[in-house]
Amino acid sequence: MSSRSVNWLAAIAVVSFCGLAAAQGFKPTKPVEFLVHTGPGGGNDVLARAAAGILEKEKLLPVRTVVVNKTGGGGAVATAYMVERKGDTNLVGFFTALWIGAPLTSKEARVQFKELTPIAGLVSDPAVIVVRADSPYKTLAEFIDAAKKTPGQLRQAGGSMESRDNLTRLVLQKLTGTTWSYIPFPGGGERVAALLGGHAQLYVADVGEIREYMRNGSMRVIAQLPEKRLASLPDVPTLREAGFNIPEIRSIRGVVGPPGIGKDVVEYWENVFERLSKTESWKRYLADNQTEDAYMKSAQLAKEAEEFIAQRRVIYKEAGITMYR
């Protein structure tokens, strides 16, 4: 074979290899950080750790994952961390509705959701209103009546001021003309401890956060936020059934990447989480935690976020919350 033929074959081999590499696209080669803004035990911490465990069990990732908790600022610390890691292909943020809505009301917030890279929506969480099992309040109406008699004296444990927990409180207070206090905590474990310890009388929680306390009988559910009753709570009324006609405050959780990651990276993670959403392990997790599947790809997630912000603007305006964006 002539040297010209050898060179020609070598060139073809190089082109073929490059084409194969391009077709294969991005794949992580070192441990990936799963970032959450809550402390251990918070709803998103639970979600991220469940996803990490299932990805490892189902062998859907070639590398390990590490859950990293960056609490503070109602998600601001976590989103700032994402921006600082611009272009980092080994960082995935598990966002909540707070990441989308909080920048609207925080003058100091440095990062808006649209600055991050949408990857996929994962779940939509139904929420419930709970009290301690030995609470004198058997219904939400009884709690509201007690709050009217002692304005500002009863306390609700919850997340940040922009969270669904507090927005539910504000909308209910406006509807009923009463007030009760709100105590924000960074993690679900601290909120649970506040309720069970008697430091708060009410808690609006994702079902996944308090499922074990529902099972062992230390908490009692007095109302649920979804428009339809959950199958696991057939005897507990929805807010509207209980006589409180307020809109369901939407919630969404999923994953985003830092700014500046490539399309191939987005497509890789879209595929990973789509495969995750189809596993039996994931379906069992959703069922066990009373969480609804809400998988959606990047483009759909971006559109959903815009609609979410539009709804939040209406709620904030009606609740008298100042907006800066």
| DSSP-derived pairing of the beta strands 202-206 and 65-69 | unpaired
The 10s digit of each residue's pLDDT in 135-180 is 999 999 999 999 999 999 999 999 877 788 998 999 999 999 999 9
| DSSP-derived pairing of the beta strands 127-132 and 202-206 | antiparallel
Start-to-end C-alpha separation, the chain: 70
Domains 32-124+251-319 and 127-224 belong to one CATH topology: yes
pTM above threshold 0.85? no
CATH 3.20.20.220 fits 127-224, yes or no: no
Second-level CATH architecture of 32-124+251-319: 3-Layer(aba) Sandwich (3.40)
What value, to the nearest 5°, has the Cα angle with vertex 60 and ends 55 and 61?
90
pLDDT at 308 over 80: yes
pLDDT band at 247 (very low <50, low <70, confident <90, very high): confident
CA–CA gap between residue 129 and residue 286 (Å, rounded): 20
CA–CA gap between residue 63 and residue 303 (Å, rounded): 31
Query: Which pLDDT score is estimated for 252?
Result: 86
CA–CA gap between residue 89 and residue 189 (Å, rounded): 31
H helices present in the chain, as ranges? 3-24, 43-57, 76-84, 97-105, 140-149, 164-176, 188-196, 207-215, 263-277, 280-288, 298-319
List the single range of 166-170, 302-306, 316-320 with lowest mean pLDDT: 316-320
Identify how many contiguous H helices and E strands the chain contains and give both numbers.
11, 11
CA–CA gap between residue 139 and residue 232 (Å, rounded): 18
List the single range of 34-38, 40-44, 167-171, 256-260 with lowest mean pLDDT: 40-44
Query: Which pLDDT score is estimated for 129?
Result: 97
The 10s digit of each residue's pLDDT in 262-299 is 999 999 999 999 999 999 999 999 988 778 899 999 99
Query: Which pLDDT score is estimated for 301?
Result: 96
pLDDT at 5 over 60: no
The domains of the chain are located at 32-124+251-319, 127-224
